[in-house]
Amino acid sequence: MMQTMNVVAVYNLKGGVGKTTLAVNLAWSAATLSSRRTLLWDLDPQGGATFLLGSSPTAEKARSVFAKDIEPSRLITPTGIDRLSVLPADRSLRSLDHLLFSLGKRKRLAKLLEGLSTSFDRIILDCPPGLTETSEQVMRSADVILIPVIPSPLSRRAFDDAVEHLHQHHAGQAAILPVFSMADRRRALHKAALDAQPDWPVIPMASVIEQMAARRKPVGAFASSTVAAESFSFLWRAVERKLAGHKP
């Protein structure tokens, strides 16, 4: 039975909310726990996801894919994880918004993703923060948009703004999945936020997650029995349920 390719975007208006950490661990979960042919497409010029998967930018420029100077397949590289590949980011993506705007192609990303549909079952997009032309294209392309929220008033405000924008400009195009990230129940504000939204998945603040940067691996690849690893697994199952129930 042929698998349907689905796109999961990890996005937030704010940076520093654990977006890249989520994207990398979700990609590992898709490839390892669900045995899906998975691509992590790093759209963030900082290249955090590329680094955490032990990869490096290629000689070609990531921006060139959108200009259609090269095919995405020329940049896609395997990781050391079965069924998981990465399309690396580099600094050329800093000018991606300007390129997309000048091209006037509002669905360029969607078309590129469609071209990858026979090669992958799941594509995870690690998106740059902010409301930009890149994020608009992501919102038009994704089946599920996962929004990490630190349990704090400012992070919740950014989440509410993102959801309002999605409802106003992209209603019905993607399912939205909020998730608490870097959560610490010992902090009063965190505990209050978690108690107010008991149905949201929670990724804890944990030293093993911080070790990802030193090991350049997802948590499940080196600490599969930890609470953090189980939290990412639980989150991935929630994503799969959203994908199963989403009908654009």
pTM of the prediction?
A: 0.95
Q: Please report the pLDDT score of residue 72 as a whole number.
A: 94
From the list 68, 59, 83, 77, the residue with the least C-alpha distance to 115 is 68
Domains located in the chain, CATH noted: 6-245 (3.40.50.300)
- Where helices occur in the chain by DSSP H, the ranges are 19-32, 48-52, 63-66, 96-103, 108-115, 133-141, 153-169, 188-196, 207-210, 212-215, 219-222, 227-245
* Cα distances (Å, whole numbers) of residue 152 to 128, 148, 174: 21, 12, 25
Q: Please report the pLDDT score of residue 215 as a whole number.
A: 96
- Where helices occur in 104-205 by DSSP H, the ranges are 108-115, 133-141, 153-169, 188-196
Query: Measured between alpha carbons, how far is 221 from 228 in angstroms, rounded to an integer?
Result: 12
Angle at 47 (CA atoms; ends 111, 133), nearest 5 degrees: 40
Bridge partners for 177 per DSSP = 146
Q: Please report the pLDDT score of residue 248 as a whole number.
A: 47
Q: What is the pLDDT of residues 110-153, one digit of tens each?
A: 999 999 999 999 999 999 999 999 999 999 999 999 999 999 99
Average pLDDT by stretches of 10, the chain with 248 residues: 82 92 98 97 96 89 93 94 97 93 89 96 96 94 97 93 94 94 96 96 97 97 97 97 77
Bridge partners for 40 per DSSP = 86, 124
